[in-house]
Structure 1
Amino acid sequence: MSYLILCDSGADLTDELKAKEEVIKVPLSLMLGDEVFVDDENLDALDFLQKMKNYPDTPKSACPSPEDYLKHFEKADEVYIITISSKLSASYNSAKIAIDMYHEEKGKNKIYLIDSKGAAASQTLLANKIVELKNAGANYDETVKGVEELNAKKQTTFVLETLENLRKNGRLTGLKAFIAEALNIKPVMTTDKEGNIIKADQARGINKACALLADLTAKHAIETGSKALVISHCNCPERAEKIKAMLEEKHKFEKVDIVPTGGLATLYAAEGGIIIGC
C-alpha cells in the first residue's frame, strides 16, 4: 500500500525526509507587513531571518487552507498528516476540514490526522517514526498505533534568546510575568499534554539555560526509554552540537538529528533558538 506523510511547515525536516517522495511539506504563509513568504522548500530561512530582524513590527503567520491538504489525498492509499500543535495554529483544524470534505465526497483512502501537540523538531520526530514503521512493513493500523504511542510520550522543549515574537502573536496565553530581561533570565519552555506552551524552568544566561534544557531532555528520555532525538536550531549550529554532546553524555541515543529551523520555527524561535523533540 502506498503512503504519504503531509507535514505542515512547522516541521523542520531532515535532508533524509526531504529526499523521500512520500514526504510532502504543506506550507504556511509568513508575513512581514504586506510582504508574504511561502514557507516551502524555496524559502531561504536565513534571508527571512535577516528581513525579520529589520522589520519593526510583529511578524505573522497564516495556516494552509483545507485545499492545500485536500489536493494530496488521492496520491496514496494511506495519508498521515502531522500538524503543529492545535493550540498554536489553525493548521490542524484546516487539515480536519479537508479530511471531512474528502470523506464526504470520496472517502476511499485512509487518512490519519496527528496533532503533534508540539512543533518543529517534535513534528520531525513523528515523521521519522512513520517512515521507520513503514520501512519495517507496518500496516495502517500498526502505524497509527505506533505514532500515537510516541506522540503520547514525547516531549517538546526549547530555549529561546527572546520570547518576544511568541508573546506578540499570542502564543503564550496565561504565561506569568516571570521573565526578567534585566537579569538575563532565560526560561526553558515545554508544552503540556494539550499542546500549550508552559514554563518548565529557568536559568540565568543562555549557556546555563541550554545545560538545563539538556538535563530536562535527558531525564525525559531516561524515564520514557526514548532512543531518538531531533534538535532544531535557528542559525546556531554550534549551540545545537554542544547540546547534543551534553545529551549523549547523559543518555544513549540510537538516532540524533540536528536540523536548521524552517520559516515558521524561525519566525517564532528567532536567532539562537533551540527546540528539541524527544
Structure 2
Amino acid sequence: MTINQIYNLAVKMAKKVDPRKDLPQNPYPDSAILNETGSKVSGYQGVKKILAGIDMDSAEIMLAHFLKCDLAIGHHPHGKALASLDKIMSLQADLMHRQIGVPINIAEGVLKKQIAIVKRQISPINHYQAVDMARHSKVNFMCLHTVCDNLAWDFVENHLQKSFRVSEFQSIRVKNVMEALLTIPEYQEAKKRGAGPQIIAGARTNRAGRVAATEFTGGTDGGKLIYQALANAGLGTIISMHMKEGNREQAEKNHINVVCAGHIASDSLGMNLFLDQLEKKGIEIIPTSGLIRVKRMTDS
C-alpha cells in the first residue's frame, strides 16, 4: 500500500461508523499526512514497515529513522492537524443528538463556548516540532486522530449492546458496566499497568440507567455545559476516555455516573482496529509510545 492508500483507508473506515450524515469527502481535519519524502513508498513498491504509537514526537520520529521504517503513524495530531483540532468538535453535537436525543440546537449551543476555548488553547502550541523533525530526517509521517477515535467509539458502543439488552439498563449497576469494559483486552492490559478503567462519579452499586460512550470521539472534551443537557435527555452513565475534574464535578452534580475507561487504552483500541487492516495486507507494525497492541485478525 502507498501512504495515500493507507490514509484513504483510515478515512473510509471512520466514515462508515461516523454519527454524522452527508459527510464531505474528508471530514477529519485533525487526521492528516504530515510529511511525505517522495521516496519509493509513495509509489508502486509501497509501505512495508510502520512505527505506530499514541504520541509520535521527535524522539519517536528518530526511532522510525533508526529502524528504517517506511512510515510513522501517530494517533495524537501534529502540524496543521493539531492546529485544526477545534474544527472536528462539532461532531460531538451530532453524537449527542443522534445517540442520546439531545435537541440539536441545544447540543450545538452548549458546545459553542468550549470550541472557542479549545481554539484559543491550541493557538500558541508549537504545532510543527515533530513534523519538522520528520522532514529533516526524511521520515514519512501521518496522524490518525478522530478517524481512530470513531472506531474505538463504535467498538465500545457495540460491545455494550452485546453485553446488555437496552431493557436491562435500568437494572444493571455501574459495576456491571466496569466488568463489561474489562473484557476488552486493551483495558485488561491497562489495568495491569495501573491505568485501567475506574468509576470517577457515582458508585459501583448505583443503577446505571442509560449508558453511552459519549466522550470517545470529536477532538477533545466538550466542556462543562454538556452534562445538564445529557441528564435532561435521560443519560444515566457516561463511558469516557478521560475527563477533567471540572467536568467530572458537573457530571456528578447532574447525577450522572462516569466510568473513565482510560485514555491511552482507548486510543490503543481505535488504533488497533485500523492497524489490523494493514497487517492483513502484509505490513509489519512496530508498536511504541504507549500503544497497547492487540490483534483481532481472526475477528473479521
TM-score (norm 1): 0.26
Q: Which structure is higher in helix share?
A: 2
The structure with the largest strand share of the pair is 1
Larger radius of gyration: 2
| TM-score normalised by structure 2 residue count | 0.25
